[in-house]
């Protein structure tokens, strides 16, 4: 008699940050849509941000669920409810690196209760964020493969590895001096100031540097990696994007109705992600630059603190003057819907990979304004490799004139139509990639088949507990 093969069960363990939770939920949905059982492990606060999405998936028949772990914030000296890495960049609780150290310490304390879940649920595979190095040991303990999820582009991973191996930044003196990243097919120049802060490896970031080293070692011992991209964009393995359902700060129908009244490719969308914060002075400079550009726009502004007054940063009478031509959204916006709308012709972005990929899939060129981490690497991919981006400048403070110049060049300059045509071609490639027999569709099928095969082999040998 032929032995019955049980349903593949995949566990997901995301980093507790919005930009990592979103693609993790998307991946869990994609696996579940192919018939796998999927379980996302997170904390109460983070689970609430996508509970509606999970409910809709369950209502549609997907076998997808969430397991909750209590985050030990108070035990490490963080405030109760401090469950997201996003909070570290807007908190007034203390030094940023001290908060990062405490947050990582609390995350490491999740290993024991997470291993209890693995023992109880007996999944066949674990997809865990790169920033959680202990996940590999946890998976090995229970005899299941661990896939590493990288929340950035394959291009950024290559740049980062080339810099780590060859250390070209150590051959220049000042932070503004440029160097060429070796062993890349394109001539990519960066400066020391554009490298992630932890590259300095000073005393403040010592614990974080140790965690990164552990993450690299854990990756080498893992079963494989997943990168959120598509082959035609970067020639790498991938899993593509899907729509998610967060609560918007504006009614989606009202937003789309506003866009419907505009001409194709006429609206600039401005958003800098969930972790980036600007001073009131810089926000004011953005407002003046947008007004001077005379472009129609949607501008999403993340409040820095709950006690901030809504209009402290706006020039006097700004919203009244912009009525009908500019829409300011305070809080969360339906970004994927906006970028997919035919009237949106450009995107000013911080170059976080989720936003960058959503811009690519929306077929819009970008004004790039990176701030931290690998965002500068993603900027180079957009501006130099794919040639669908215009840089606003690399300095910490960006003047209104630079903002006006960049958005005009991207929306109406000599290269505007060329960039738009390239961006739209990439969007078409992205859509084909996730269709049946497309590169992403086929890659996911191949991965699931491989995991099922691995699972069947493990069924012959009892897992070590």
Catalytic residue IDs = 20, 129
CA angle 393, 398, 404 (to 5 degrees): 85
* CA count, 13 A, side-chain hemisphere, 370: 25
The conformation of residue 170, written as its DSSP 8-state character, comes to G
User: Rounded to whole angstroms, how far apart are CA atoms 82 and 414?
Assistant: 47
Retrieve residue 39's tokens. 């379980």
Give the separation between CA 145 and CA 451, rounded to whole angstroms.
8
Cβ neighbours around 238 below 10 Å, total: 23
**Measured between alpha carbons, how far is residue 206 from residues 330, 365, 457 in Å?**
36, 38, 41
Which position has the token pair 């059982």? 37
C-beta separation of 149 from 225 below 8 A: yes
36 in Cβ contact with 11 (< 8 Å): no
1-14 residues labelled b (16+ CB within 10 A) or e (exposed): eeeeeeebbbbbbb
Instruction: DSSP for 307-340, please give it.
Output: T--TTTTSPTTHHHHTTTTEEEEES---HHHHHH
Chain-centroid distance of CA 96 in Å reads 20
d(C-alpha 57, C-alpha 29), whole Å: 7
Nearest to 146 by CA among 181, 115, 179, 175: 115
Q: Of all helices (H) and strands (E), which one includes residue 209?
A: helix 206-220
The helix/strand/coil state of 145 is coil
The β-bridge relationship of strands 178-180 and 189-191 is antiparallel
């Amino acid at each position: 008699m032929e032995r019955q093969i049980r349903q593949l069960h995949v566990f997901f363990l995301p980093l507790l940050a919005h930009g990592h939770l979103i693609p993790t939920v998307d991946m869990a949905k994609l696996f579940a849509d192919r018939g796998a059982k999927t379980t996302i492990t997170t904390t109460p606060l983070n689970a609430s941000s996508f509970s509606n999405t999970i409910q809709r998936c369950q209502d549609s028949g997907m076998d997808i669920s969430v397991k909750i772990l209590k985050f030990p914030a108070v035990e490490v000296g963080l405030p109760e409810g401090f469950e997201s890495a996003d909070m570290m960049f807007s908190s007034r609780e203390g030094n940023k690196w001290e908060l990062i150290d405490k947050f990582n310490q609390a995350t490491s304390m999740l290993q024991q209760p997470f291993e209890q879940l693995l023992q109880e649920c007996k999944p066949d595979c674990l997809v865990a964020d790169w920033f959680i190095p202990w996940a590999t040991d946890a998976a090995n303990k229970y005899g299941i493969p661990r896939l590493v999820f990288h929340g950035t582009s394959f291009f950024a991973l290559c740049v980062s590895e080339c810099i780590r191996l060859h250390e070209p930044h150590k051959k220049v003196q000042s932070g503004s001096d440029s160097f060429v990243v070796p062993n890349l097919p394109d001539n990519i120049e960066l400066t020391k100031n554009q490298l992630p802060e932890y590259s300095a490896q000073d005393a403040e970031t010592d614990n974080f540097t140790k965690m990164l080293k552990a993450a690299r070692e854990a990756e080498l011992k893992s079963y494989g990696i997943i990168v959120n991209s598509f082959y035609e964009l970067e020639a790498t393995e991938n899993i593509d994007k899907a729509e998610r359902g967060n609560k918007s700060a504006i009614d989606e129908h009202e937003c789309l109705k506003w866009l419907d009244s505009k001409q194709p490719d006429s609206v600039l969308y401005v958003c800098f992600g969930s972790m980036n914060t600007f001073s009131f002075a810089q926000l004011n400079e953005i407002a003046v630059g947008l007004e001077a550009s005379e472009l129609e726009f949607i501008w999403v502004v993340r409040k820095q603190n709950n006690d901030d007054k809504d209009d402290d940063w706006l020039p006097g009478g700004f919203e009244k003057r912009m009525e009908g031509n500019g829409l300011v959204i305070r809080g969360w916006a339906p970004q994927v819907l906006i970028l997919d709308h035919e009237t949106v012709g450009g995107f000013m972005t911080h170059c976080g990979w989720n936003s960058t990929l959503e811009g690519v899939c929306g077929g819009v060129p970008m004004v790039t304004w990176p701030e931290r981490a690998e965002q500068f690497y993603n900027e180079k991919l957009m501006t130099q490799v794919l040639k669908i981006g215009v840089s606003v400048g690399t300095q910490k403070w960006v003047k209104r004139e630079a903002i006006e110049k960049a958005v005009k060049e991207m929306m109406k300059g000599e290269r505007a139509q060329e960039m738009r045509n390239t961006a739209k071609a990439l969007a078409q490639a992205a859509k084909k990639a996730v269709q049946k027999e497309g590169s992403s569709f086929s890659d996911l099928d191949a991965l699931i088949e491989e995991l099922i095969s691995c699972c069947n082999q493990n069924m012959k040998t009892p897992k070590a507990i």
